[in-house]
Amino acid sequence: MRQLFTILTALNVAVVGTLWAAEPPVLTVMTYDSFVTQWGPGPQVEAAFETTCKCDLQFVGAGDGAALLARIRLEGKRSDADIVLGLDTSLTAQARATGLFADHGLPEKDYDLPVPWSDPIFIPYDWGYFAFVYDNTKLTAPPASFDDLINAPKDLKIVIQDPRSSTPGLGLLLWVKSVYGDDAPGIWEALSPRILTVTKGWSEAYGMFLAGEADMVLSYTTSPSYHLIAENDATKAAASFSDGHYMQIEVAAKLASSDQPELADAFLDFMTSERFQSIIPTTNWMYPVVMTDNIPDGFDTFGTPDKTLLFSDVQAASVRDEALSEWLAALSR
Amino acid sequence: MAGRAQPVNFTTLAGLVAAALIVALTVGTVATVALRAEYSARLNPADWAAIRFTVRQALVSAMFSVLFAIPVARALARRQFWGRSMMITLLGAPFILPVIVAIFGLLAVFGRTGLFSQILASFGVGPLNIYGFQGIVLAHVFFNLPLATRLILRGWQTIPAEHFRLAAQLSLESNHVFRHLERPMLRGTLPGAFAVIFLLSAASFAVALALGGGPKATTVELAIYQAFRFDFDLGKAAFLALVQLALSATAALVAWKFTARRAFDAGFGRRIRRWDGLNAVSIAQDIAVLSCAALFLFLPLSMVVLRGVAHLNEIPAPVFPAIVRSLIVAVVSAGLAVFLALILARAALDFRKNGKSFAGWIESVGFLTLATSPMVIGAGLFILLFRFFSPSSMALPVTITVNAALSLPFALYSILPALRDAEAHYGRLADSLGMRGVTRFRLAIWPRIRPSVGFAAGLSAALSMGDLGVIALFADADNATLPLVMYRLMAGYQMDAASAVALLLLALSLALFWLFDRGGRLNAAT
């Protein structure tokens, strides 16, 4: 009996042992929803990384960028995630302050960004400019600056997103603040009659624009590229503003609580490789941070704006609350 | 049973457990969020403005919804016509439509480039302006007029057929029937309907913002959302959730205070026939009322359907597992909601019978979830469960539980009065016949409450199907429900495919509602 027990135990250990060894390590990447859908970069990135890493790459979708940060703050040090992918420079200062993220320890790279980038924690993977998108068959002379927009014909209406609930909404808030500084409240007041309405998220606003409710919608300079490449529709364009365009740089970082730190570093390194970067343009509809040959014709119809605007993450965090109260006060009249 | 001191029996105990579960889900989750807070909460002037705005728009929305619902319910109650039952089923549609779909449907009719603006434009008149306070009220009436109509219509059906027969024998005309039969009934029905719609409108956020034309339309729910995701101020999120609970409690108390109870005694359960209102004027009146209501409710719905039909072939493959998941969530949530409602209603009646004031508390617990912020319930459950489970493994159980809790008020509102009436009219008879337990329930009570249970189950199922609720915080790429798939499609520029999924969602929700509602009324007396 005793022998049988010993044999069984040994067998058990052996079986469990082999199973254990056969199980590849899991790397969990928490990101925003649109990254993981079948049209997003997720499936291709997963396939590409798994061919080299001998691991199981799993994505967890959590709303959008700001929801992502709230989620990781809720989870704290117990999080199962190894990497958070999808924060931007309006959030990185708060993310850094949580102490939940670790240094990547990777050598500095020369990114293909309009601004220099150096950060011990966050590594960029794509970027874009905010812009007002319009229909060029309906609007032949689009406004070319905020001033133009303010002085546009009375019936020209734009739809924007609420900065409290939307990433582009917050982007516009910082855009106006970076152009006008202390004059921002007056600009918002002057813009107010142009604003048809403010929506919770990008989807409502963009849907309203496509339905013809508004003449222009706050989105990205790459939105027309989507229509051109995916739908063969050349009627959408982004208005170029002489004030300059505010940027969004999307970043990823490793969590300090990760149980796969080497694998996480390998993923962050892979993220700025040609392979990963070539997936980004036509799935995430943003510009890659490393030159890649896989940029289809018509992707960069917008060109380079006169000025590139971007607060450092520390500045963004410090002007955010003030800019929000100015916005609320001006538009609540 | 009555008047005798007795040990706490099984049904009462079950009722207390159910009540405790609901309190844990509402107050408990708020407390959990508050405990995780890093700083103490204070309300700033903007929060107070949000509270004032919430109350104001909800009051006006509830007032118009109930006001318009009275003539619609009256017309439906006293007319028999072809398509009446289909109209009553379709009335449920706006209520279960996902918010973002409803916004697009309303704009397609009332927007700057909508149907009405196009018609106006051909007369050279400028476009309609829906954006502003009027837009919020319009949208909330669109959502809630059907619910108000259903609730008030049920009130009409509680007037025993014998009363109308007697009224006819006395040759009472419409205005007298109104004064003697319908007005007392309305006194018993309207306050509750008003309170429910007030609370539903108060919890609105995306609609109020998009159609309200800007941040002056900030509601408490938006302030909670901001506190959670923009400021990550959990203390404030919890505090605002408490404010919302307090609003809910106040509304429920006021409604309870104004509700006249027990308007009618039992009839014989005959089919109601009306002899009043047969003159040309009132017939024309009813036709006009029903046509206006149908136009107002079904035009935006038709726009949603037309748009979806055009893109049905673009529905992507991952939608099909999501359909299965959503159906499971809907049916199980509905079962759970009805089960909880039956238990709570039973316990409330037991307490009332024994003359305990506790009955009122048990009843109000069922309505607690009406004004709880889904955001805070979600965050609270997340904090509690995250220690023990991986969030994505809990996505479906949590969604089912929360959806059941969120639709419990409607289930209870439907089942409690029916059970009360069944007990009042047939309970004594059953007791005198010595019926007990399951037999008593099956023979004396169940046939009387079955239509209400069917309606409650249908409404809960449809609500759980369409409601995004809290799943967003728990779901990952692999276990999304249908509404979440739709939102993700929209976020990825796939607006056309999303419109087809929206149509699918609407059709499935309505089919579920119809199945349960029909099943409840099959061969039933009313």
- CA distance, residue A237 to nearest chain B CA (Å): 15
Strand-pairing partners, residue B16, are: none
Chain centroid to Cα B154, Å, comes to 14
Helix axes B10-23, B358-367, angle to 10 degrees: 50
Within 10 A of B463 (CB to CB), how many other CB atoms are there? Answer: 26
A230 at interface of B, judged by CB pairs closer than 8 A: yes
- The pLDDT of residue B3 is 43
* pLDDT exceeds 60 at position B274: yes
Please, which pLDDT band fits residue A315 given cuts at 50, 70 and 90?
A: very high
Q: In A, which residues are within 8 Å of B228 by CB distance?
A: 70
Q: Residue B213 and residue A197: Cβ atoms within 8 Å?
A: yes
Q: Residue B230 and residue A195: Cβ atoms within 8 Å?
A: no
Nearest to A30 by CA among A272, A288, A255: A255
Chain centroid to Cα A213, Å, comes to 26
Quick one: closest CA in A to B485, which residue?
A37
**Which residue type occupies A59?**
F
Residue A247 belongs to what H/E stretch? strand A245-255
Q: In B, which residues are within 8 Å of A165 by CB distance?
A: 222, 225-226, 229-230
- The pLDDT of residue B465 is 85
Q: Residue A165 and residue B225: Cβ atoms within 8 Å?
A: yes
Cβ burial of A257 (10 Å; 0-12, 13-18, 19+) is middle
Q: How far apart are CA B220 and CA B206, in angstroms?
A: 12
Of A34, A59, A69, the CB nearest to B492: A34
Q: How far apart are CA A105 and CA B361, in angstroms?
A: 59
Structure tokens at B419: 């059970």
Chain A stretch 165-194, residues whose beta carbon is closer than 8 A to a beta carbon of chain B: 165, 192
* pLDDT exceeds 50 at position B4: no
Please, which pLDDT band fits residue A57 given cuts at 50, 70 and 90?
A: very high
- The pLDDT of residue B471 is 63
Query: Do residues B87 and B294 make contact, with C-beta atoms less than 8 angstroms apart?
Result: yes
**HSE, side-chain direction, 13 A CA sphere, residue B272:** 21
* pLDDT exceeds 90 at position A83: yes
Q: What predicted TM-score, i.e. pTM, was given to this entire model?
A: 0.87
* pLDDT exceeds 80 at position B186: yes
Structure tokens at B356: 């305990």
- CA distance, residue A62 to nearest chain B CA (Å): 6
Residue B350 belongs to what H/E stretch? helix B319-353
Within 10 A of B17 (CB to CB), how many other CB atoms are there? Answer: 12
Using H for helix, E for strand and C for coil, what is the string for B215-233? HHHCCHHHHHHHHHHCCCC
- The pLDDT of residue B525 is 44
- CA distance, residue A132 to nearest chain B CA (Å): 16
* Mean pLDDT across A94-98: 95
- At B123, is the secondary structure helix, strand, or coil? coil
**Which residue type occupies B235?**
G
Q: How far apart are CA A29 and CA A9, in angstroms?
A: 37
**CATH architecture type of domain B52-310:** Orthogonal Bundle (1.10)
Of B214, B232, B492, the CB nearest to A331: B214
- What's the length of chain A? 333
Nearest to A300 by CA among A212, A241, A224: A224
pLDDT tens sequence across B447-502: 888 888 998 999 899 888 876 556 666 766 667 788 888 888 888 888 899 999 99
pLDDT tens sequence across B401-411: 888 888 888 88
Q: Residue B215 and residue A162: Cβ atoms within 8 Å?
A: yes
Query: Do residues B133 and B214 make contact, with C-beta atoms less than 8 angstroms apart?
Result: no
**Which residues, 6+ apart, have CB-to-CB distance to A117 below 8 Å?**
A111, A124, A249
Q: In A, which residues are within 8 Å of B486 by CB distance?
A: none
**HSE, side-chain direction, 13 A CA sphere, residue B229:** 26
Chain A stretch 63-92, residues whose beta carbon is closer than 8 A to a beta carbon of chain B: 63-64, 66-67, 69-71, 73-75, 78, 80
Query: Do residues B463 and B410 make contact, with C-beta atoms less than 8 angstroms apart?
Result: yes
Interior angle at CA B324, CA B320 and CA B326, nearest 5: 110
Domain covering A128-247+300-331 assigned CATH 3.40.190.10 in the classification:
yes
* Mean pLDDT across A90-117: 93
Of A34, A70, A202, the CB nearest to B228: A70
* pLDDT exceeds 70 at position A330: yes
ipTM value > 0.90? no
* Mean pLDDT across A22-30: 88
Q: How far apart are CA B481 and CA A253, in angstroms?
A: 29
B355 at interface of A, judged by CB pairs closer than 8 A: no
B490 at interface of A, judged by CB pairs closer than 8 A: yes
**Which residues, 6+ apart, have CB-to-CB distance to B398 below 8 Å?**
B381, B385, B470, B471, B474
Q: Across chain B, which distance is largest between two alpha carbons, in Å?
A: 76
- At A199, is the secondary structure helix, strand, or coil? strand
Q: Residue A164 and residue B226: Cβ atoms within 8 Å?
A: yes
- The pLDDT of residue B5 is 45
Please, which pLDDT band fits residue B193 given cuts at 50, 70 and 90?
A: confident
Using H for helix, E for strand and C for coil, what is the string for B321-332? HHHHHHHHHHHH
pLDDT tens sequence across A183-218: 999 999 999 999 999 998 899 999 999 999 999 999
* pLDDT exceeds 80 at position A10: no
Mutate to test the interface with A, among B29, B113, B125, B230 (most CBs of A within 10 A): B230
Chain B stretch 102-121, residues whose beta carbon is closer than 8 A to a beta carbon of chain A: 103-104, 107-108, 111-113
Query: Do residues B64 and B212 make contact, with C-beta atoms less than 8 angstroms apart?
Result: no
Q: Residue A210 and residue B495: Cβ atoms within 8 Å?
A: yes
Q: Across chain A, which distance is largest between two alpha carbons, in Å?
A: 93
Cα→Cα distances A177→A18, A173, A191, B305, Å: 59, 6, 13, 42
Q: Residue A74 and residue B379: Cβ atoms within 8 Å?
A: yes
Structural domain boundaries in chain A: 2-127+248-288, 128-247+300-331
Query: Do residues A69 and A91 make contact, with C-beta atoms less than 8 angstroms apart?
Result: yes
Whether A2-127+248-288 shares its CATH topology with A128-247+300-331 is answered yes
Residue A246 belongs to what H/E stretch? strand A245-255
* pLDDT exceeds 80 at position B63: yes
Long-range contacts for B357-365 (Cβ within 8 Å, ≥24 apart)? B360/B256, B361/B19, B362/B15, B362/B16, B362/B19, B363/B412, B363/B416, B364/B249, B364/B252, B364/B256, B365/B19, B365/B22, B365/B23
* pLDDT exceeds 60 at position A2: no
Quick one: closest CA in A to B108, which residue?
A211
CATH number of A2-127+248-288: 3.40.190.10
Of B112, B216, B230, the CB nearest to A66: B230
* Mean pLDDT across B220-240: 86
Nearest to A146 by CA among A199, A191, A185, A195: A191
Please, which pLDDT band fits residue B2 given cuts at 50, 70 and 90?
A: very low
Chain A stretch 87-126, residues whose beta carbon is closer than 8 A to a beta carbon of chain B: 94
Structure tokens at B104: 């697009």
Q: In A, which residues are within 8 Å of B128 by CB distance?
A: none
B131 at interface of A, judged by CB pairs closer than 8 A: yes
Q: Residue B100 and residue A66: Cβ atoms within 8 Å?
A: no
Range in A175-179, B77-81, B255-259, B481-485 with the lowest mean pLDDT: B255-259
Select from 3.20.20.140, 1.10.10.10, 1.10.3720.10, 3.40.1370.10 the CATH code of B1-35+311-526: 1.10.3720.10
Please, which pLDDT band fits residue B260 given cuts at 50, 70 and 90?
A: low
Quick one: closest CA in A to B103, which residue?
A204
Structure tokens at B299: 């035009």
Interior angle at CA A162, CA A161 and CA A163, nearest 5: 110
Structural domain boundaries in chain B: 1-35+311-526, 52-310
Most confident of A133-142, B198-207, B370-379: A133-142
Size of interface A-B (CB pairs under 8 A): 148
